[in-house]
């Protein structure tokens, strides 16, 4: 499962890196919650919650039906 999450994150990573940010996979819980850590310019950005919901979460849910939601952790 971790490989599938990493592959999905690799799809959106170039867009994040273009803006000086990145995303790190932390873990996936048994109930399908993927925990990620935003890095670089994404960390603390006022738009980070939109990026998380409209970018990261959307792509992960499309690619991996088992994902129920995505959370950012410090």
- Domains, the chain, ranges and CATH? 2-72 (3.30.300.130)
DSSP calls for 18-55: HTTEEEEEEEE-TTSEEEEEEEETTTT-TTHHHHIIII
Residue 12 pLDDT: 93
Q: How many CB atoms lie within 10 A of CB 50?
A: 10
Question: Is 52 within 8 Å of 38 (Cβ atoms)?
Answer: yes
Q: Which residues make Cβ contacts (< 8 Å) with residue 55, sequence separation at least 6?
A: 12, 15, 16
Q: How many CB atoms lie within 10 A of CB 64?
A: 16
Per-residue tens of pLDDT for the chain, all 74 residues: 899 999 999 999 999 999 899 999 999 999 999 999 999 998 888 888 888 888 899 999 999 999 999 999 98
């Amino acid at each position: 499962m971790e490989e599938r999450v990493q592959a999905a994150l690799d799809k959106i990573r170039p867009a994040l890196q273009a803006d000086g940010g990145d995303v790190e996979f932390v873990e996936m819980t048994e109930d399908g919650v993927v925990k990620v850590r935003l890095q670089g310019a994404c960390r603390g950005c006022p738009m980070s919650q939109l990026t998380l919901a409209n970018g990261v979460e959307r792509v992960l849910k499309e690619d991996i039906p088992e994902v129920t939601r995505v959370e950012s952790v410090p």
